């Protein structure tokens, strides 16, 4: 059993990354003695989040979300996109983001015969 559990092909590492429209350079270059002048966007900031699972053979269940990752969005992602891409015996590895621990996430993953492993804090 441990042989199958430790099979690298069974691991799915799940994480997200995001970007915001207010991300601007904090430093710049100008000729000596002159100030750097540049435009900075202002107004309504927008956040875009990308979440996906990574297997040894590629990416599974990629999703782009307008806004930050929240618990209800993550649960819907797991139920509708990730769980159907999993097989019995897969191990989903997650970090300790609060959104990863909402009710329904563990049940959706275990419901397809996969297991869940949280990384240490």
- What's the confidence (pLDDT) of residue 3? 52
Average pLDDT over residues 33-58: 87
Query: 40 pLDDT exceeds 80?
Result: no
- What's the confidence (pLDDT) of residue 1? 46
Average pLDDT over residues 79-91: 96
Tens-place pLDDT, residues 53-79: 999 999 999 999 999 999 999 999 999
3-state secondary structure of 7: coil
Query: 90 pLDDT exceeds 90?
Result: yes
Q: Which residues pair with 50 in a beta bridge?
A: 17, 64
- Asked whether the beta carbons of 18 and 68 are under 8 A apart, the reply is yes
- Asked whether the beta carbons of 102 and 71 are under 8 A apart, the reply is yes
Average pLDDT over residues 32-45: 81
Q: Indicate the pLDDT class of residue 112, thresholds 50, 70 and 90.
A: very high
Task: Look up residue 119 and give its DSSP letter.
Answer: P
Task: For residue 84, give both structure tokens.
Answer: 């159907």
- What's the confidence (pLDDT) of residue 4? 52
Query: 91 pLDDT exceeds 70?
Result: yes
Query: 2 pLDDT exceeds 60?
Result: no
Task: For residue 108, give both structure tokens.
Answer: 């959706």
- Asked whether the beta carbons of 85 and 61 are under 8 A apart, the reply is yes
């Amino acid at each position: 059993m441990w042989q199958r559990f430790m099979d690298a092909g069974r691991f799915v590492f799940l994480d997200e990354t995001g970007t915001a429209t207010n991300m601007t350079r904090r430093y710049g270059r100008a000729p000596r003695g002159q100030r750097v002048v540049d435009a900075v966007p202002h107004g309504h900031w927008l956040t875009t989040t990308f979440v996906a699972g990574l297997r040894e053979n590629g990416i599974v269940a990629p999703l782009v979300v307008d806004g930050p990752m929240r618990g209800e969005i993550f649960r819907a992602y797991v139920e509708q996109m990730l769980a159907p891409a999993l097989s019995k015996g897969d191990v989903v590895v997650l970090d300790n983001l609060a959104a990863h621990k909402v009710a329904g996430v563990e049940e959706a993953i275990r419901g397809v015969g996969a297991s869940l492993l949280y990384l240490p804090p």
